[in-house]
Structure 1
């Protein structure tokens, strides 16, 4: 049975595509058949995959459905018989109806959030959207994913503050690392960067483990 994971946040720049392509690439490398649905007009996920070397393509399929809008959930259903996992990279919720639509058919939503005051305030909006989706999709599960976390006292305290939002918080946080940007530029998986991305690889593998465990 196909599992659907939506990656969403109220605002841009929180790392939705980084989380989407990091987890999707890891699932693909583990032998699963994976589709990334790029629902964002900026098409960052599609550009990431297209930047891959022809001899070493990104190990998942990517399809653009930015025009689907409020009908995104209907379009996603068409792919469920062909994949083990579908990951939906959504645009900022304040700009589109796509996130709300995606959550209607999702098993899990990951909310990347930068642990800073401004980003924590903006995250309130996506929490309301998640609660609204649960009226229809009662089994929808949700987790915050701390992203761009700095290894400082303030960084640790900010991550701890996420517990106040009422959603689960993944045990693994993603650091503020150049490896994630390099992977996007090269059209590569995080793992494909090799030893220079050792810490990022460890983070994304642990996050993927958490996602798979939740969907079992």
Structure 2
């Protein structure tokens, strides 16, 4: 688990790439520049770690494109100490970015193989979520609700009501909505029953599957 000067240099190149694409949040850029993304991938694919693209990992899932991770993180507006629910732990890279931003992360993964692998890996590095769970992301983690922020890292054909209900008033939820192509969508909870909704263009994610296991 080495992080060399070469890796660090490639990360700074990656930061310049995502900045050029429109990411302006300095804390998010600093997180991208600090976290060794190559450790979250199979060592044989290390050369792909600092390219701005998604890449396959275990269980037919992907590690998200760095720009997408940065874009969702910027939309979320994470403040230090906030309670963040992450739907789709995946490789743990987005989890690490949230931890670096100072969030208390509650994460859920529906693929058992990936859950076990990522749980073991995250226990070995400094980016540890407050709680990592195996289960159905559509249902969220109501036992720890409400959350300041919720981030969904898989494409949902529609917006799960359970997740909206677990968001604090004033909280923000970022979720890609759609089937073949998803629209990045931000919900801000204005009151118990009222939400503001904004859309931010097209992205591609692996699908958020219900009751997969």
Q: Tell me if TM exceeds 0.5.
A: no
Shorter-chain TM-score range: 0.3 to 0.5
Richer in helix (by share): 1
Richer in strand (by share): 2
| TM-score using structure 1 length | 0.37
| TM-score using structure 2 length | 0.38
Higher RCO, Cα 8 Å, sep 6+:
1
